[in-house]
Each structure stands twice: as C-alpha cells, then as structure tokens.
Amino acid sequence: MTQTLTLRRPDDWHLHLRDGAMLQAVLPETARHFARAIIMPNLVPPVVTGDQAAAYRDRIMAALPDGMTFEPLMTLYLTEDTDPDDVAQAAASGLVKAVKLYPAGATTNSASGVRDFDKVRPVLERMADIGLPLCVHGEVTDADIDIFDREAVFIDRVLDPVRRATPGLRVVMEHITTANGVDYVKSNDTDLGATITTHHLIINRNHILVGGIKPHYYCLPVAKREEHRLALRAAATSGDDRFFLGTDSAPHTDALKEHPCGCAGCFTATNTMALLAHVFEEENALDKLEGFASRNGPGFYKLPVNIDTITLTKSETATKFPAKIDMGEGTVTVFDPGFPVYWNVTA
Ligand code: NCD
Ligand code: ZN
C-alpha cells in the first residue's frame, strides 16, 4: 500500500553551501527539493559586505546544474565593523534577506563574529527600521559555561537584552535545540521566530556518545537531552507558525569529521524531506508538515509561498539514500537517522 503527500515546494531557512568543489557537490542535493534557501555567510573569509554577497550569489548560480532552479537568499555576516548603510543598501536591492549574528568563536568559521554587542547597535537599529531579520546563532562562548547550557544562557544574557534594547528588531533564533528556546519563542508575540533542524528532531545527545563516539552526529549547537528533543518535536509539529525548517545542513569532508578534532555539522540536505515525513507521521501530524517546511518560513520572511509542489510517497520497502556524496577530493557523509525510512520525494 502506498501513501502520498503533496506539499507546496519547501524552502530551507538555514543552509551551508560552502564554495568551490564542495558547493558544486552539495548544491544539487538542496536544489532537487527546495526552491529557496537562506545561505549562511560563514565562508573563509566570511561574506560581510553587499558586494561579497552578490559575488557569492553569482558563484552559487554558476554552480547550479542545467535544468535545476534555485533561489539563494543571501545573508551578511555581522562583524563589529559592519556598515549600516551597506546592509540597508543590500537589503533594499533585494539581494540580502537577513544578517547573521555569530557570537565570536561559537562555531565553524565564527572568529570574525561579535564580541561587544554595543559595537553592532547602529546596525541592529537600522535593521529594526527597515524590517531586516537578524538570524542568531544562540550560544554563549564563555569557557566557564557548559556546552549543553550555552543556548539557555544565551537567551538570558544576550538575546533577551538585545531584543529589549532594539524594539522592532525581527529575530530568527536559529537551530534551537532546547525546551528553553521553544518557550522563549512562545512567550513572545511578534518579531520572533525559530528554525528547527531535521537532525535535532531525530537525535539526542546519547546518539552522539553512547556505544562509541559518532562524529557524524556532532553539530553545533550540540544535540541535548531527550526532553529537549521532545520539546522540539512538539513545537515543529504543533502548527505554530513561529517555528519553521532550517536544516543547518553543514557539509564537511569525512576526513575532517572523522578526526581527533572533528568539525561540527550534519549533512541532511539529501534526505531531509523524507526524514521529516517520517517524523511528522510518528507525531500524527503529517498535515502540519507543509506549514513547517513550506509556509511558515515565507510567512516570517514576508515572501510568497512557492507555487509548485513536491510529492512524497511512502512505500513498503525502505528508501535507499546515498551514504555519501562524492566531492572529488573527499566525500561527505549523508545523515543516517539510524532507522529505516519508507518515505521519499517522488515528484
Ligand atoms: C556549521 C558549519 O559547519 O558551518 N556547523 C554546525 O554544526 N551547524 C556552523 C553552524 O551553523 O553552527
Ligand atoms: Zn548553521
């Protein structure tokens, strides 16, 4: 018996595409299913100015295989030297859809991030004026804060004060991993949304550490306790339009993942939609998947919902996803949920 589900074509509101050979290898994995994605600017060096974002967009479009369509929604990496006029210009031209805040040192390629929030106040105020969203990597980086507490502490010490000091600033809490993140979003009426990744709906911290260390499950923010995974599942499948999909699909070569100091990031672009259908079905919420993956994100970003559709089909045999994507010099491992999945995107 087969079951099908047709949705408006989804978008990915948090995606790492990298550059060069890696970009070439991973872009089709996203463009196959997704119409648009918010493109993370944490290249080396980061995408800081409007000119750099335009050049990066051109490289992305040049890497798109013939016959595929895809619209990259560009972001600027916020630094203490970011020029508010440059941000406003890049937004007004339609090129840039958000600015990304990385606390300095929080994650991969975040050394140029913000240390002193007073220094970025003029940029944040301009963004509030023009309605340009701030995408936030919500973790403090203080050495004395336990890595599993860094999101909760960030909300209290940084996010809430910044939002109070900048009325009207529209904020996306990206890749929330805790019940604290869910609760903070729910306690605010406007101007605040959150993305949730596919993998954080599937793994908790035991998956990373029990029975041997699993480098392909290591990402930042790191997966938390089971109670937090359940809170994320409840939020994603609730129909609350403040929660939407941002895969944070973050490719690193296997050599750098399977390493004494392995990189953070799960690569989920290839199988995200099938995995989400599995998760939403488990939660008896298949009717909420279109909201989460295709409607709530455009709603927050004030963009139209995609016109065309994708169809997912559930069959009796488990779907075979590629284990790895070859990128010439090395491979990238596709996220393995650890259970058979019967859904696949079929049209
Ligand atoms: C991201 C990356 O590799 O660029 N890694 C990750 O674990 N998510 C950076 C990020 O979004 O934190
Ligand atoms: Zn990310």
Cis ω on the peptide bond leading into residue 221 (within 30° of 0)?
yes
pLDDT digits (tens, 9 = 90+) for 138-184: 999 999 999 999 999 999 999 999 999 999 999 999 999 999 999 99
State yes or no: pLDDT of 1 exceeds 70. Answer: no
Cα–Cα distances in Å, from 86 out to 44, 92, 94, 123, 149? Answer: 20, 10, 13, 10, 35
The closest ligand to the CA of 107 turns out to be 1
Mutate to test the pocket of ligand 1, among 248, 249, 263, 333 (most ligand atoms within 8 A of CB): 248
User: What does DSSP say about strands 309-314 and 343-345: parallel, antiparallel, or unpaired?
Assistant: antiparallel
Query: What is the pLDDT, as a whole number, of residue 82?
Result: 96
Query: What is the pLDDT, as a whole number, of residue 108?
Result: 72
Return the CATH number at 227: 3.20.20.140
pLDDT digits (tens, 9 = 90+) for 235-273: 999 999 999 999 999 999 999 999 999 999 999 999 999
Cβ–ligand 1 contact at 136 (below 6 Å)? no
State yes or no: pLDDT of 189 exceeds 80. Answer: no
pTM: 0.97
Catalytic residue among 11, 191, 240, 248: 248
Q: Which one, of 5, 95, 1, 93, lies nearest residue 278 by Cα?
A: 5
Cβ–ligand 1 contact at 248 (below 6 Å)? yes
Query: What is the pLDDT, as a whole number, of residue 26?
Result: 98
Cβ–ligand 1 contact at 42 (below 6 Å)? yes
| Average pLDDT along the chain | 96
Instruction: Select the more confidently predicted residue: 335 or 112.
Output: 335
> Residue 6 Cα, ligand 1 centroid: separation in angstroms?
30
Q: Domain range spanning residue 103?
A: 3-345
* Average of per-residue pLDDT across 5-28: 98
Query: What is the pLDDT, as a whole number, of residue 127?
Result: 98
**Percent of the chain surpassing pLDDT 90:** 93
Q: What is the domain count for the chain?
A: 1
